[in-house]
Amino acid sequence: MSVDSRLDVFVLLAIYIRKQLEGFTLDLKLEAPEEKIIVLFGPSGAGKSLTLAAIAGFMTPDAGQIAVGGRVLFDAARGIDLSPQARHIGMVRQDLALFPHMSAADNIAYGLSRLPPAERTRRIHELINMTHLDGLESHKPSELSGGQQQRVALARALANEPTLLLLDEPFSALDQAIRLELRHELLALQKRLRTNMLFVTHDLGEANLLADVMAVMDKGRVIQFDAPETILREPATRRVAEIVGVANILPATILDNNTLCVGERELRMDLTRLDVGADVFLCIRPERITLVRRDFDSRIMPNVIEGDLIGEESDGSNVVLQFRAGEPRLNPRADFDLQIDLPEYVYERLNLARERHWLVSIKPHVMHLVPA
């Protein structure tokens, strides 16, 4: 497939490449829109950082093409392979790669030598202000906090007004409070500058917060590309569901237009668009299952199941519960049937440490089916 034949004014990044490495193949096809934050999400070893290296020019694919903003950066068939310096791409790496002997201002200025001195000085001050580094211009990296070092690296990457900014897990080494602060600053910067960004992470919360569109990667391929809310609620395959944290993935069979057989139990949902007798997987996010008190009139709730809480784990903020249904079971081969996630304060308010026998309701709109 040719990049030239697919480009239009709405496509920022068009990449169709293949790279064979020992024990791993990157086989990537992706078209991403303009003026967006595009997140590459997936487990370690999925090929996310390798993809950035190919776009930036630090890794040469065996075959394919890469174009950014309508400009061809790499085309194996035509012998085009622009140098990293010629690609007009900014990059913030996980290790930041700041020059330790240079001040914050000098790190930011690196690469601006083509500008007249007055323009270079104006640009440096603009970036320092934009990234909240005022008063730290003369500090060397060792004199800055982790968050401040990230801001210097970001300002340096933005200095030449790149067509595309690549960010390779830039916040992974920071504590949670600083990560949250920098994520919001990055969002504000993107809106202000309208800079196209390609952000790599394996943190689902970070991906969901930052992404306008998200590419789920696994084993060197993009296996779903969509808005993050669509991917979270409507994963395309079982593997996507596993990667984005759908803890409840149950084998099921379609009995009729309204009935799904899950294990030994029947659940109700609209199945009119699917074939009777088809085998599927039922996907339910663990935070979308509703606990119902036993004295509640369960007749007004859909898909009510009675059972017991048989296990739990807490990180201090959220609790993961294991729910085992009474007969008939949803998952008779497992120790428990459903995982339920809820905030710690809800756990305490419902007195779940002592109250262990509950009803759960699985509403049809939280049920999603993927082919088996």
User: Is the pTM higher than 0.75?
Assistant: yes
pLDDT at residue 298, rounded to an integer: 65
Which position has the token pair 């036993």? Answer: 294
Give the residue among 131, 188, 199 at the shortest CA–CA distance from 159: 131
H-run or E-run covering 349: helix 344-349
* 339, 286 contact by CB (below 8 A): yes
Cβ distance 143 to 162 under 8 Å? no
CB 166 within 8 A of CB 89: yes
Q: Which residue has the tokens 């069979």?
A: 253
Domains of the chain listed by start with CATH number:
11-88+162-242 (3.40.50.300), 246-371 (no CATH)
CA dist., res. 15 & res. 3, Å (int): 8
CA pair distance 210, 38, nearest whole angstrom: 8
Amino acid at 330: L
Closest to 98 in 3D by CA, of 54, 50, 44, 136 = 136
Closest alpha carbon to 216 in 196, 193, 236: 236
DSSP 112-180: -TTS-HHHHHHHHHHHHHHTT-TT-TT--GGGS-HHHHHHHHHHHHHTT--SEEEEESTTTTS-HHHHH
Query: Minimal CA–CA distance to 162: which of 181, 189, 180?
Result: 189
The answer to whether the CB of 3 falls within 8 A of the CB of 23 is no
Q: What is the pLDDT of residue 174?
A: 87
pLDDT one digit per residue (tens) for the chain, 372 residues: 454 444 444 678 999 999 999 999 999 999 998 888 999 999 999 999 999 999 999 999 999 999 998 899 999 999 999 999 999 999 998 888 899 999 999 999 987 878 888 999 999 999 999 999 999 999 999 999 999 999 999 999 999 999 999 999 999 888 889 999 999 999 999 999 999 999 999 999 999 999 999 999 999 999 999 999 999 999 999 999 999 999 999 999 999 999 999 999 999 999 988 899 999 999 999 999 999 988 777 677 899 999 999 999 999 999 999 999 999 999 999 999 999 999 999 999 999 999 999 999 999 999 999 999
Residue 1 is predicted with a pLDDT of 46
Which tokens in the block code for residue 370? 């993927």
Residue 304 CA to residue 76 CA, distance in Å, equals 57
Q: Is 230 exposed, middle or buried (0-12, 13-18, 19+ CB in 10 A)?
A: middle
Distance between CA atoms of residues 257 and 13, nearest Å: 42
Q: What is the 3-state secondary structure (H, E, C) of 166-229?
A: EEECCCCCCCHHHHHHHHHHHHHHHHHHCCEEEEEECCHHHHHHHCCEEEEEECCEEEEEECHH
Per DSSP, what are the bridge partners of residue 216? 41, 224
pLDDT score of 113: 78
Q: Which of the 8 DSSP states describes residue 267?
A: E
Cβ-Cβ contacts under 8 Å for 161 (sequence gap 6 or more) = none
Secondary element (H or E) of residue 106: helix 104-109
Residue 7: per-residue pLDDT: 44
Tokens 């990457």, residue located: 157
Helical axes 146-158 vs 176-193, angle rounded to 10° = 20
Look up residue 322 and give its two tokens.
Answer: 């294991």
Two structure tokens written together for 69? 């903003």
Sheet (strand 357-361) strand order: 290-292, 357-361, 304-314, 318-325, 338-343
